[in-house]
Amino acid sequence: MKILLTTTSFQDTPGKHQELLYSKGFEIDTLRGPILENELLPIIDQYDAVICGDDEYTEAVIKKGVGGKLKHLSKYGVGLDRIDLTAAKKYNVSVTNCPSVNQVSVSEHVLALLLTFEKNIHLQYNSVQQGSWKRWVGNEIQGKTIGIIGLGAVGKELAKKSSALGMKVLGFDITKDENFLTKYPEVSFVDSLDHIYKNADVISLHVPHTPQTENLISEDVIFNKLEKSPIIINTARGKLIDVESLIKGLKIHKIKGYLTDVLAHEPILDDEVLKGVENVIITPHVGSRTFQSVERQGLMAVNNLLNQVKIED
């Protein structure tokens, strides 16, 4: 079998996942993703399978791949929004992903961003490096209300950690996990996003990008529904945010800060409008990029592929 490996986290982190993949005798090519449609089209038919990150698997790419050897897409990570799942089903290409393996790393990243912003660590670090001893006044997060939109694996882990740090936790999801809520009664489940928009000091996003969630944080939400000038944290997908409205909201203090690990276009473009905006912190999609998480996800992605190959045999 000939395999294309495009996820950079997998490639950049030696560990058991690499040992497993390279022990199987596959012919393996590597590219550094995310790979766009026009880059995949000339090559995709050469491969039996791909271990991919956030590459662009449109119907055209999948159809071209199936015209050659392509049978399997093993997603390293959770989000499948860059894969045309309807086309994959149509052309009988198996698609797997790695749910419930990165929640510790991502939830820790959310809190790292929040504490960095509220304690001015990013500003203080830069000022001290320049020889300054200017001291900003920060804020505690204990006693603040965090609204978590999306109570999947990451959202639940963040809810537990936030509560342990003394925050009041509001959670919203389209499904209500009664078992989780019974086990963690400190998490208050709300049945309306407006309740979060009205009451949260911090809003953290943990939903996939779909047509329904695109621009979830919209102009209407920012200017008509947010009541406490919240900090918005996004470790999910960049397109959940109406960025132009967000910037306007930041300038007039409808939003206190925007802390994001994701952008609508990745890697960052030279003309990224969020770059340099005051009270915005951007990290380069590294929320799940810890050694422990990379190894867990990598092993799952490889095993998912091996299981599909076994099924095929």
This prediction has a pTM of 0.93
- What are 160's two structure tokens? 């537990």
DSSP annotation of 221 reads I
The per-residue pLDDT for 160 is 98
Catalytic position from the list 206, 237, 289, 296: 237
Please tell me which residue, 132 or 310, carries the higher pLDDT value: 132
* 4-62 confidence digits (pLDDT tens): 999 999 999 999 999 999 999 999 999 999 999 999 999 999 999 999 999 999 999 99
The per-residue pLDDT for 266 is 92
Contact indicator for 170, 200 with CB cutoff of 8 Å: yes
* 76-98 confidence digits (pLDDT tens): 999 899 999 999 999 999 999 99
Q: How confident is the model at residue 311 (pLDDT cuts 50, 70, 90)?
A: confident
237 is catalytic: yes
Please tell me which residue, 298 or 311, carries the higher pLDDT value: 298
The percentage of residues in the chain with a pLDDT greater than 90, rounded to a whole number, is 98
**Of the candidates 232, 165, 164, 245, the residue with the CA atom closest to the CA atom of residue 201:** 232
285 is catalytic: yes
C-alpha–C-alpha distance, residues 178 and 156, integer Å: 12
Catalytic position from the list 206, 285, 289, 296: 285
* 275-299 confidence digits (pLDDT tens): 999 999 999 999 999 999 999 999 9
Distances (CA, A) of 251 to 3, 121, 124, 226, 268: 48, 21, 22, 15, 22
Mean residue pLDDT across the chain: 97
Question: Domains in the chain, ordered, with CATH?
Answer: 2-99+291-312 (3.40.50.720), 103-282 (3.40.50.720)
Catalytic position from the list 59, 214, 219, 266: 266
**Of the candidates 6, 260, 9, 287, the residue with the CA atom closest to the CA atom of residue 153:** 287
Q: How confident is the model at residue 313 (pLDDT cuts 50, 70, 90)?
A: low
* 231-266 confidence digits (pLDDT tens): 999 999 999 999 999 999 999 999 999 999 999 999
10 Å Cβ neighbour count for 28? Answer: 15
C-alpha–C-alpha distance, residues 215 and 312, integer Å: 40
39 is catalytic: no
10 Å Cβ neighbour count for 270? Answer: 5
149 pLDDT above the threshold of 70: yes
Order of strands, sheet of 168-172, starting from the edge strand that comes earlier in the sequence: 187-189, 168-172, 145-149, 202-205, 231-234, 257-260, 280-282
Mean per-residue pLDDT, 223-237 = 98
- What are 214's two structure tokens? 């695109």
141 pLDDT above the threshold of 80: yes
Mean per-residue pLDDT, 129-147 = 98
Q: How confident is the model at residue 310 (pLDDT cuts 50, 70, 90)?
A: confident
Contact indicator for 84, 62 with CB cutoff of 8 Å: yes
Mean per-residue pLDDT, 154-168 = 98
User: Which amino acid appears at position 114 of this protein?
Assistant: L
Distances (CA, A) of 96 to 41, 51, 88, 177, 289: 21, 10, 11, 24, 20
